[in-house]
Structure 1
Amino acid sequence: MAAVPPPPARHRPRPGSLERPVNAKLYRGTWLLVGLPLLVAAFSVARPAPLPPPEQLSALDGPALKAVTSDLVQFRSNRYPGTAGAIDAANWFRDQLRPYGLQLRTERFSAVVARIGRLQLQNLLAVAPGRSPQTIVVMAHRDNDGTGPGANDNASGTAALVELARAYSVLTPAHTIVFLSTDGGAFGGLGAAEFLAHAPERHNVVAVINLDAIGGPGRPRLQIGGDTARTTSGTLLETTAARIAKQAGRGPSRPSVLRQLIDLGFPFSPWEQAPFVSRGIPAVTLTTAGDRPPPTGEDTVGRLSAVRLGQVARAAQDLLGTLDQGTEFVQGTSSYVFVGSRLIRGWAIELVLISMLLPFFAAAIDLFARCRRRRIALAPALRSYRSRLAFWAWVAVMFELFGLLGIWPGGTSRPPELTGSAARDWPAFGILMLGVLTLAGWLVARDRLLPRRPVSTEEELAGSTVALLCLAALALLVVATNPFALVFVLPSLHLWLWLPNMRASRPWTRAALITAGFAGPALVLGSFAFRYGLGWDAPWYVLELRALGYVPFVVVVLVIPWLAGARQLAALAAGRYAPYPEVGERPPLGPARRLVRRLVLGSRARRRAPQPARRAFGG
C-alpha cells in the first residue's frame, strides 16, 4: 500500500499565530457597529432656513464705495498699528462720521506682538442706539501690515463700514448697532479680542458681521470658524448666503467638508469672527480674498472691483437689516459641518468618529488577550515605551521652558501674521540649544533601546501590543478633550494595527504603512502649507502658535504619547526594536547616570538614617 503523502506546507501563517496575531475577522465584524452612528448622523442632517429679507432695500453704490476706499488709501496707505499712519487713519474714520450725530468712542489699548514688541492701538466705535439693548456689531479692521496700500485688505471693508454707519445715522433700529473699526486686525484680530474682553457692549452682543477685503474680483466667501471647535449659527450662515446670492447672482463659496473637519479638529482662524464664535456669539466674515493675504504689490485701488465691492456691501446692509428686524434668531454657536445648504450636527459627527475607534479597540484588546494566554511578558516592552515617552516629554518640557525664559518670541495669544516672519525668524541660539538638549536626551534614551541580542518574535509582539494599547489610551484622552481631533489620530490607529501581521513583509511595505499613519499630522501641516501658503514654513508657524499660547498645552500633552508610540512601532518595522534590558543586560552607567544615581541614593540614605547618623552625614 502506497504511503500517504504528507499535507502540503502552509504558505500563509495560520490566523492567531505569532505571525498573524491580529484578529482580522473580529476587526471587520466590529465595523458593523459603525453603521448605527452613521444612521443617526444621517437623521441629524438639517437645512436651516434663512431669515426673511429686510423691508428696506439696500442702496450702497459700488463706485461711491471705491471712491471712499481710494480716499483712505491716498490719505494713509501705511496703516501699520502704532504708527503715525495708523493714528491718521483713525482720525480719518472719526472725521467721516462726526457730522452724522453718531455716538463716537475711542478705546485705547496695548498688545505685545511677537518679534515686534508692545504696540499702542485703538478701537473706534460708532453707536446707533436702538430700542433694545441687544447689540449687533458690524466691524472691519482699519490697519494693514504696512508693506502696501492695503486697498482691499482692508480699506474696502472700512469704507463699507463708514457707509453703513452713515445710513443708520438717520434710523432708529430695533437693536443697538455698533459699527466697530478695529486696530490690529492684521495680527490675528487683536482689536476684536480687546472688544470682547473690555467693551461695555460685549455682554449684549447677539450677532457680528465682519467685513474684510470685500472689494476683490473673486467670488465672495464666508469664514465661519472659531478659535475653538465651534461653528457659527446655521441660521446666520444661510441668511448671509441668501443675501449675497441676491446681490451677486450666486451664493458665496464655503469651506469644504474636509477643511471644516480640520478646523474643528485643530481650531485656527486668522479672521476676526473667530474670537466671537469661540465665545458663543454668532459671527460671520464676508470676504473676497483667499485665506492668505494678497501680495502687497497687487493690493491697490486699481485692482478693486467696484461691482463686487457694491455687491458685498449691499449684501451686508441687507443682512444687517434682516438681523435688526428679526424678532429672534438663533442664539449661540455650536459645532456643525455644512454640506451645501445642509448641515450635520457636530455631536453626530463626534459619535461617528468615536464609533470608528471600536474596531481598533476590539483588535487591540484581543491582541493583548492573546499575549496573556501565551504568557508573553509585556513589562519590558512597556519600559521601552516609557523610555521613548520620557524622551519626547523631555523635548516638550525644554521647548516650554525656553518659552517661559523668553528665548522664544512671546506676545498676545493671537495668530501672528501669515505673511510675517513668525514662520522664519526663530532665534538661532534657542534652536541650537534645543537641538543640543534634544541630542543629549536621545543619547541617554538610546543607550537602553539599542538591540544587543536577537529579539524573539514574542518580544516583538509584546512591543507592538504595548504601543497599540498606549495609542488606544491616547485615543480616549482625545475623546475627552476634542473628539473632532480623532480625524488626525484614526489613520495611524487603523494602519499601524496591522504591523504585527506584516513582520515577514518586505521592509518597504512596512515603511509605507508607517508613513501612511502620519496622514493625520500631514493634514494639519498641509492645511497651513497650502491653504495659507506657508509651504515648508508651516511646521515653524504651528510651533509659533504654541509658543504664543494660541494652541493649548493639552495638545502638547496628547502629541507626546502619540510620538512615543509611533517611534516604537517604527523601530519594530525597521527591525531596530529591543525590549528594555534586564539588569544583567544593561550597559554600564555613564558619568551622568552615575552622578544622578549617587545623588538619589545619597538622598534616600539621609532620609532613612536615624538622627545621630544624619549628623554624621553632615545634616
Structure 2
Amino acid sequence: MLDPRIYRAAFLPILFVLVLVGFSLRDQPRGVTTTLAPDAFDGDAAFASLDALAEAAPSRQPGSAGDQRVADRVRAGLRASGFEVSSRSFQAQTSVGERQVETVLGQRTGFSSRRILVVAQRDAIASPAKAQLSGTAALLELARVLGARTLDRTLVLASVSGGPEAAEQLARDPGGAVDAVIVLGDMAGTQTRQPLVVPWGSDAAVAPLELRRTVETAVATETAIRSRRARPAVEYARLSAPLTLGLQGPFIAHGLPAVLLSASGERTPAADQEVSAARMTVFGRAALRSLSALDGARDMPAPSAYVLIERKLLPEWPVRLLGAALLLPVLLAAVDGFARVRRRHEPVGRWLRWVGACALPFVLALLLTLVLKLTGLLSAAPPGPVAAGEIPRDGTALAALISVLVVIVLGWFALRPLVTRLSGTKGDPAAPGAAAAVLLVLCGIALVVWVVNPYTALLLIPALHLWLLAIAPEVRLHPFAALGLFLIGLLPPLLVAYAYARQFGLDPLELAWMGMLLVAGGSVNVFGALVWALLLGCAGAVLTIVLRNWSGGPDAEAHVTVRGPTSYAGPGSLGGTESALRR
C-alpha cells in the first residue's frame, strides 16, 4: 500500500517552504516608555492597605462574607479616589463550586473612550493568602494616584472574584473598546518566579510583543529584575496546547491585548507566602510606569500567534505552511495506499469500524467525565485550569480518576473485542486494509487539527510519518524497530505535557487530575475531546498492528503443504503457454 516514489517525491515542496520560513522571520517590535516618574505610588501606604484588608477578611473564598467585605472596601476606595463605581453580580463556577460573585468596576474617563483595563483578583481558596491580595491593595493605590491625573485614555479598574469565569465575563463585556489589559497578581511576595510578565492566552494566541516589552521594561527599570522569556520550545508548547493559570488568558482569547504582572509568575503564590513593603513599592511603581506609557502610546495590536527565536519573531503563517508541506507526503501515501488496497479487493470499510471500536474506550471515558460533572460528583470544575492544590485531590478526586482508568481498561480489553465481533469486523489487523484505514483516519484528524491550530498539527506529524513506516506492509522492519517508531511518535505530546507539569508545578497525578477538570469544566470542548479520543484510538490501533506483525502477521499462519521438486520448471516457465505468448 506504500509507494516509496510518491512518498519521497512529496517531500520536495518542503525545501521551498523552509526557504519561506527563513524569510518570514522579522525583527521584534519595541515597547513604549514614559518620562513620567512613578514615585507617586506610595508602597508603604499600599502595604498598610494590604494589612488592613487581610485583617478584615482573612478568609476570602469566592462569594463568602470575607470576599464581600473586601469588595465593599474596594468600592469605597474607588469612590474616594474619584472613580465612577459600578458592580456586576453573576453565578460562577469556581474552585469551591458554583457561587454568587461580584465584580467591582471603577472608571475614570479620559479624553478618549478607548480603555486601559487593570484587573486584580481579591478572592483566595486558602488563608491568609496576603500575596494574592496584594494585587487588590496595589489597585487601590493606583486609583489614588491616577484619580488625580488627567488621562488620555479612559481607565477602568476591576476587582474580580471567581477565577477564570469572572475574567471571561469581563472580557466578554468590557464596556467599550480596550487598548490594553494589565492583570495584577502577586505584587508584594518575597519569592520571585519567572516570567514576571506572563503573555499566554487560553487559545492559540499571545499578547502582542509591544505590550510585553512595555511592561517588561517597566519591571526591569523599577525592580532591577529582568523578566526572562520562555525558551522557543516552551513557547511552541504553550501555543500547541494553549492553557494558562493567569486571568489574562480569557482576555487574550477575546482578542484583547493582556498580560499578567506578578512576582510569583504564572503560579498562584502559596497561602503563607511572605510579603514586604519594598516589593510592593517596586512592583507597584512598575505597574504605574506601564500605565503611564500605555496612556500616551499608540493603539496596541491584537493578540496573535508567534514564537520568539533569538532576536527574531516567527509568525503563524509559515508554521501553518510548514505543517501543510509536512502533512502532504503522508496524505498522498495514504490516499494512494487506499486506492491500491481497493484494487486488490481488500476490505477497508470494516477496518474503519475497527478503528472506531478502538476509540470507543476513550469516548466512554469522556462521557463518564461529563456524567460526573452533570451529577455533581465533580462539583468544582471551573472553566479554566487552576493551580496545583487549589482543588484538592481528595477521595472523590481519586475515585473519579480511578473510575475513568477502569473504564478505559475494561473498554479496551472487554468491550472493544465485543463491539468488533458484533460489527462484523473479521480478519487479521496486520492486513493491508487495516493499515490503510488507520492512516486515513489519522490524516483526517491531522487535517482538522491543522485547520484549528497548526502548532498542534506539527506535534502529530512526526507520529504520522513514523507510524506509516511502522505499519506499512511493504516496509519490513524488525519488531523492535517498529515498536520504537511507535513510541517515538508519542514523544511530542508527552513533552508538551511535561512542559506544562514543569510550568505549573504538577506531579503526574495532578496533571491527570487537571486534564479531567479541563474536560469537565469545558476548557476542552466536547468536539476537541472527541478528536483526542479518536486520536488515542488510532494510537491503540497502530500498537495492535505493530504487535500483530511482531507475532508474524497473517503470513505466519500460511503453511505450505505441497511442494514440487526444487529443479522443476512448470508449464509456462519458459514462455511456451498461450497466456505467456500474449504477454
Interval containing the TM-score (normalised by the shorter chain): 0.7 to 0.9
Match of 1:510 among 457, 482, 505: 482
Q: What displacement does 1:570 show?
A: 0.6
1:88-131 C-alpha deviation (Å, 9 max, x unpaired)? 222333444443332233333332336x3332322222221211
Unaligned runs of 5+ in 1: 1-20, 582-619
Query: Which residue in the other structure is 1:100 paired with?
Result: 81
Alpha-carbon contact 1:449-1:577 (below 8 Å) kept: no
Matches within 5 A, 1:171-570: 171-185=149-163, 189-198=164-173, 201-216=174-189, 217-218=191-192, 221-249=196-224, 251-297=226-272, 299-301=273-275, 304=276, 306-326=277-297, 328-372=298-342, 376-409=346-379, 412-421=382-391, 425-426=396-397, 428=399, 432=403, 435=406, 439=410, 442-447=413-418, 459-500=430-471, 505-537=477-509, 538-570=511-543
**Aligned residues: CA RMSD:** 3.3
**Equivalenced residues, count:** 544
- Structure 1 residues 423 and 29: CA distance shift in structure 2, 3 A: farther
Give the Cα separation in 1 of the matches to 2:408 and 2:210. 52
Query: Which residue in the other structure is 2:571 paired with?
Result: none
The answer to which of 82-91 and 550-559 deviates more is 82-91
Alpha-carbon contact 1:235-1:329 (below 8 Å) kept: no
* Aligned AA (1:300): E
Alpha-carbon contact 2:97-2:379 (below 8 Å) kept: no
Alpha-carbon contact 1:335-1:347 (below 8 Å) kept: no
Give the Cα separation in 2 of the matches to 1:360 and 1:422. 44
The answer to which of 341-350 and 387-396 deviates more is 387-396
Match of 1:119 among 99, 116, 123: 99
Give the Cα separation in 2 of the matches to 1:429 and 1:318. 47
Alpha-carbon contact 2:267-2:387 (below 8 Å) kept: no
Matches within 5 A, 1:590-609: none
SS state at 1:215 partner? coil
Q: Normalised by the size of structure 2, how large is the TM-score?
A: 0.83
1:557-609 C-alpha deviation (Å, 9 max, x unpaired)? 2113312221121111112799xx9xxxxxxxxxxxxxxxxxxxxxxxxxxxx
* Aligned AA (1:170): A
Query: Which residue in the other structure is 2:122 paired with?
Result: 142
Matched, 1:43 2:23: yes
SS state at 1:33 partner? helix
* Aligned AA (1:354): A
1:266-296 C-alpha deviation (Å, 9 max, x unpaired)? 2211211111111111111111214433433
Alpha-carbon contact 1:471-1:565 (below 8 Å) kept: yes
Alpha-carbon contact 2:215-2:290 (below 8 Å) kept: yes
- Structure 1 residues 197 and 373: CA distance shift in structure 2, 3 A: closer
Give the Cα separation in 1 of the matches to 2:303 and 2:75. 33
The answer to which of 415-424 and 220-229 deviates more is 415-424
SS state at 1:81 partner? coil
Alpha-carbon contact 1:137-1:207 (below 8 Å) kept: yes
Unaligned runs of 5+ in 2: 555-583
- Structure 1 residues 315 and 339: CA distance shift in structure 2, 3 A: farther
Give the Cα separation in 2 of the matches to 1:283 and 1:91. 26
Query: Which residue in the other structure is 2:143 paired with?
Result: 165
Matched, 1:573 2:546: yes
Give the Cα separation in 2 of the matches to 1:90 and 1:448. 56
Q: What displacement does 1:495 show?
A: 1.8
* Aligned AA (1:195): L
1:491-516 C-alpha deviation (Å, 9 max, x unpaired)? 31122122136976554433332222
Give the Cα separation in 2 of the matches to 1:281 and 1:315. 21
Give the Cα separation in 1 of the matches to 2:219 and 2:5. 52
- Structure 1 residues 391 and 96: CA distance shift in structure 2, 3 A: closer
Give the Cα separation in 1 of the matches to 2:363 and 2:91. 35
Q: What displacement does 1:375 show?
A: 5.2
The answer to which of 57-66 and 252-261 deviates more is 57-66
- Structure 1 residues 490 and 105: CA distance shift in structure 2, 3 A: same
Q: What displacement does 1:525 show?
A: 2.9
SS state at 2:397 partner? coil
Q: Normalised by the size of structure 1, how large is the TM-score?
A: 0.79
- Structure 1 residues 496 and 437: CA distance shift in structure 2, 3 A: closer
- Structure 1 residues 94 and 485: CA distance shift in structure 2, 3 A: same
Alpha-carbon contact 1:72-1:89 (below 8 Å) kept: yes
Give the Cα separation in 2 of the matches to 1:22 and 1:104. 68
Give the Cα separation in 2 of the matches to 1:410 and 1:467. 37
1:531-567 C-alpha deviation (Å, 9 max, x unpaired)? 2122122122112111111111121221133122211
Query: Which residue in the other structure is 1:33 paired with?
Result: 13
Give the Cα separation in 1 of the matches to 2:129 and 2:306. 33
- Structure 1 residues 402 and 438: CA distance shift in structure 2, 3 A: farther
1:148-200 C-alpha deviation (Å, 9 max, x unpaired)? 32222x22222221221111111120111011111123xxx3332232345xx
Alpha-carbon contact 2:62-2:94 (below 8 Å) kept: no
